[in-house]
Structure 1
Amino acid sequence: MSATAVIAEEIHPSLWRASQLARGRGRIVETGYPALSAELPGGGWPVGTLVDLLVPHAGIGELRLLRPALAAGGDGPVALLQPPHTPNGLGLSYIGLPLKEMLLVKARKTADALWSAEQILRAGSCGALVFWAQYAQASSLRRLHLAAQSSETLFIMVRPLAAAQDSSPAALRLALRPSIDGLIIDIVKRRGPASAEPLSVPLRPTPGSAFTLSPSSSPADARSCSSRCLNGSG
């Protein structure tokens, strides 16, 4: 067999050719957005690893982007760690996330928040963990990444867009920018070739959700309700 015919993953699961997306080595959770899934190794959000969502400011639609994955459920509740605003029950229900499935975790200090994230990951008691962090040292990120690898938890960190310039052990890093009907997504890092073009992902209200707008409601009403899922941290 020629060297060019060798499949990288057959040598070791961690290997892949730079010209192609790596195959998912572990469990993935569907994103709910076919265009995005097609650009991710394994075709979805990787479980048991660190995923970086890099935003210009919190509340641009990160929870609505994650809604299909979080609503799919898992073994345990969804932990919201250090959200920038107090969760709004009607807002979360509106985007299809029942409040009874949410676990709010607040910490006074960054060190306490990092410790809480590590304990949640190591305990494996939550199906997903979304952690809003303004700053985290590289050593802290590595520690959390290792903790995530020992779990079956979907682990998402929402961090400032400026952090895209820093190195990270995250297997997947996406930069999000708001658009008129959703988000523009740049793939900063993935196991595979660089992404040449940004993705446009529309974020629409969830059909059949607990909080439904009437037919006479305007688009502005929809945007207002959706933005309140975390009192402004949608």
Structure 2
Amino acid sequence: MARPDPITAPEALHPSLWLASQLARSASRCVDTGYAALSAQLPGGGWPVGALNELLLPQAGVGEMRLLQPALVRQKGPVVLVQPPQIPQTLALSALGLPPSRLIWVRSNPRSSDGLWAAEQILRSGSCGAVLLWHQHARGEHLRRLHLAAQSGDTLFCMLRPMSEAREASPAPLRLALEPVAGGVQIAFLKRRGPQRDEPLFLPLTPSLLQRRHAPLDRPASAPASAGSVLPVLVG
């Protein structure tokens, strides 16, 4: 009796294919999260660059900046903060290894689509190492445009959205929900290219002495720039 042919590994057929029981191999570059336990749960072993990553928060300042800090420090080029919910704290962000010289703050009306437009243009320019965009509600077409713009470059792009948006569909290949707990955050894996993980991951985030005494590290530093004024400089 003839033996059946061995099953061909799906990635051998196409790099975008993977078994439901395994994490996908990222076709694009990833940047290490700086947290081994988290990196082990992400396809490619880190935050994907050139893609839309979503962090869903119950409120701003639950640990998102400390979570992203190792990757932001590793990325070369400016880090752009688009319509953060609080005035950036230069002292606190410097303590995270992000001096004012690396930061650009883009302020816009949170009720308008200016922030979405600014983030899209910055991503298409490929001029920055990372873009963080805070936005309350974005329609599906806006998310698709942002994901497409991110794919045109090698920028680490994270969109920080309310937890209520978890029910909405999104083209983002990675969606994580953060919940503050004593000593760190609980991370729920809402979407990733790989098997479903029902159990949240606890990640310890130790506050620094500076955070306790001076300024909240997670309340995003530098003088504000309007979306219209900063884009000619970034895009060239």
For these two proteins, the number of residue pairs brought into alignment is 217
- TM-score by length of structure 2 reads 0.87
SS of aligned partner of 2:113: helix
The root-mean-square deviation of aligned C-alpha atoms, in Å, is: 1.8
Deviation (angstroms), 1:196: 2.6
What does the per-residue CA deviation read over 1:23-70, in whole Å, with 9 as the maximum and x for residues that have no partner?
111110000000000000000000000000000011111111000000
SS of aligned partner of 1:115: helix
Matches within 5 A, 1:143-182: 143-182=145-184
Of 14, 27, 32, the match for 2:29: 27
Of 61, 65, 81, the match for 2:67: 65
Which residue in the other structure is 1:210 paired with? none
Which residue in the other structure is 1:92 paired with? 93
Alignment of 1:107 onto 2:108: yes
Q: Are the aligned partners of 1:174 and 1:189 in contact in 2 as well (CA < 8 Å)?
A: yes
Equivalents in 2 of 1:189, 1:229: separation in Å?
A: 24
SS of aligned partner of 1:93: helix
Q: Are the aligned partners of 1:80 and 1:105 in contact in 2 as well (CA < 8 Å)?
A: yes
SS of aligned partner of 1:39: coil
Matches within 5 A, 1:165-204: 165-204=167-206
- TM-score by length of structure 1 reads 0.88
Which residue in the other structure is 1:54 paired with? 56
Matches within 5 A, 1:103-142: 103-108=104-109, 109-142=111-144
What does the per-residue CA deviation read over 1:106-137, in whole Å, with 9 as the maximum and x for residues that have no partner?
11253111110110000001100000010100
SS of aligned partner of 1:188: strand
Equivalents in 2 of 1:78, 1:68: separation in Å?
A: 13
What one-letter code is carried by the residue in structure 2 that aligns with 1:181? G
Equivalents in 2 of 1:83, 1:118: separation in Å?
A: 16
What one-letter code is carried by the residue in structure 2 that aligns with 1:67? Q
Equivalents in 1 of 2:79, 2:112: separation in Å?
A: 20
Equivalents in 2 of 1:2, 1:175: separation in Å?
A: 43
Alignment of 1:36 onto 2:38: yes
Identity of aligned residues (%): 54
Q: Are the aligned partners of 1:94 and 1:226 in contact in 2 as well (CA < 8 Å)?
A: no
Structure 1 residues 165, 4: closer, same or farther in 2, change over 3 A?
farther
Equivalents in 2 of 1:26, 1:49: separation in Å?
A: 9
Deviation (angstroms), 1:99: 1.8
5+ residue gaps, structure 2, are 221-236
SS of aligned partner of 1:227: coil
Deviation (angstroms), 1:229: 5.0
5+ residue gaps, structure 1, are 207-212, 214-220
Equivalents in 1 of 2:4, 2:166: separation in Å?
A: 39
